[in-house]
Amino acid sequence: MSAPTDPQLQEDLDAIRRIVLPYDFEAEIRVFSIEPEEIDIGKEIYLLIISQKIDRATWFYMEYELRKHFKGRFVKTYVVKQIDSGLLRIAYDCSVRITECRD
């Protein structure tokens, strides 16, 4: 799935990166949609964050910051250390990575 190019969407993705990355600069952030053909975060934001450093307390605060920034939109984040189940694999496969790959 290719990354969306809409300017408003790009601003939203930049805001997500600014909120999440300070908690773990190496996190892989992926945005996904219930309708995988089209990523539309205008009303709902679903994030899959793969991180070794983000613990439960950090996750609650990070989600609070996301909800505060995107007031009026449904925000749901899933933070995992690795993709180890079928459901996570489906979410991963139907998502768009919004962080840059690190070599």
Domain ranges of the chain: 7-97
3-state secondary structure of 28: strand
91 pLDDT tier (thresholds 50, 70, 90)? confident
Q: Which of 21-25, 31-35, 64-68 has the lowest mean pLDDT?
A: 31-35
Of the chain, the percentage scoring pLDDT greater than 70 comes to: 83
End-to-end CA distance of the chain: 21
Nearest Cα neighbor of 47 from 24, 74, 69, 25 is 74
The model's confidence at residue 103, banded by pLDDT at 50, 70 and 90, is very low
Amino acid in the structure at residue 9: L
Tell me the C-alpha distance between 90 and 85, whole Å: 9
Task: Please give the CATH topology (third level) of the domain spanning 7-97.
Answer: Beta Polymerase; domain 2 (3.30.460)
